[in-house]
A = this chain, B = another copy of it.
Amino acid sequence: MKTPAQPTVEPPVGISIEGRDGEARAGTLRTPHGSVPTPTFMPVGTKGTVKGLDRGELREIGAGVVLGNTYHLYFRPGAQIVREAGGLHGFTGWDGPMLTDSGGYQVFSLAKTREIGERGVRFASVYDGSKHEFTPERATRVQEDLGADIAMVLDECPPANASREYHAASLERTARWAERCRETHGRSDQALFGIVQGGLFPDLRKRSLRLTTELDFPGYAVGGLSVGESREEMLGTLGLTAPLLPPEKPRYFMGIGDPVGILEVIGLGVDMFDCVLPTRLARHGSALTVNGRVNLRNARFRRDFGPIDEECDCRTCAGYSRAYLAHLVREDELLGHRLVTLHNVRFVTKLCEEARRHILDRDFYGWAGWWTERYTGGSAGKVEKG
């Protein structure tokens, strides 16, 4: 059995907080592959690629941490091949920070049938229906093979409408799994983050938070949200949970990528967040602008020779018109997906950079409210000071 990490050893990933405005935090995330200003949006590279973008572009648009999905990489190309390539960094060529999820979320969301027990979860592959089992030990070892800077414990993420009883039992098991992950984890150049569950029940959230933080992980995620509940429920629960997390450690909110939601979770003290939304929208021809989302398939863009967003500093906005992008998107041309993806991801990374400045200037909430008002045309709620 492995010895648990010595508390005196500096963990490979940490955060220094350089400014606060209410609950909102501006800091620097330190990882073995470089430092990242926070708050930071982490683009999702599901299968080892952020759809359509190469590493030079990721760097160019200010991507910090890039995500990989353990579930998909476990099947394709396989963790062993990634390990032989020198981990995800060697395999994909991205030399900045990376994070892998545990695979649990896909096991629970993609599998038609699955059997969950104390030992782990058995499921059928979405690729070929073959039977597999993820245990805390296996999810940890697979992520060690993938070799991202940050790995996540295997957790169960019950649906928003699961019963209180289910959530209560599940969070206890998730905590026991978290401990088994920690016991298994041995890579000193990789940090293993814990995950807080507990559904929408404040007392269960607190219980999960206590059990998870007692295990003393170098960072924590708030999981089990953005899974079907309302935005109010999500923010309410996050607002109760985030402030109770150890302030000296990075806080990761799993699954937010819309600009307004990003400002809301930043306002509640989150440092890192991820979502496929900006990349997925792009593939459907939707582009983000300071005045809201626009669908480039709309007829009015066919003769619009201006950029997607006048304020954007990305290469797409510098060099290509809405009319050209609208044409590419309508014709399902690769370049269209790629250029709109580049813009959308830059849009949210730039939003995070601006948020950081306003936190340091201690005028985050006023700015976020103004920004949200403009983005939504006044139809959304406001970002409240925590």
Q: A305-B84, A305-B85, A337-B334 are in contact. Are A323 and B77 (CB under 8 A)?
A: yes
Identify the stretch in A18-26, A45-53, A269-277, A346-354 within 8 Å (CB) of chain B at 4 or more residues.
A45-53
Contact among B56, B84, B302, B334 for A303, CB-based, below 8 A = B84
Give A23-54 as 1s and 0s: 1 = Cβ < 8 Å from B's Cβ atoms.
Answer: 00000000000000000000000011101111
A119 within 8 A of B: no
| A77 touching B47, Cβ below 8 Å | no
User: Which of A162-170, A214-222, A324-332 lies at the interface with chain B?
Assistant: A324-332
Task: Evaluate contact between A55 and B338: CB separation under 8 angstroms.
Answer: no
Interface pair B48/A324, CB less than 8 Å apart: yes
Contact A328 B85 (CB under 8 A): no
Q: Which residues of B contact A320 (CB under 8 A)?
A: 93
The proximity string for A residues 80-116 relative to B, scoring 1 for CB distances below 8 Å and 0 otherwise, is: 0100110000011100000000000000000000000
Alpha-carbon separation in the docked complex, A55 to B324 (Å): 13
Please determine whether A330 and B93 come into contact, CB atoms closer than 8 angstroms: no
Most buried by B among A53, A327, A337: A327
A contacts with B: majority SS: helix
Q: A339 an interface residue at 8 Å Cβ cutoff?
A: yes
The reply to whether A81 and B319 form a contact with Cβ atoms under 8 Å apart is no
> Are the C-beta atoms of A333 and B81 separated by less than 8 Å?
no
**B residues within 8 A CB of A52?**
334-335, 338
Tell me whether A190 is interfacial, beta carbon within 8 Å.
no
Seen from chain A, the residues whose Cβ lies within 8 Å of a Cβ on chain B are: 47-49, 51-56, 76-77, 81, 84-85, 91-93, 302-303, 305, 315, 319-321, 323-324, 326-328, 330-331, 333-339
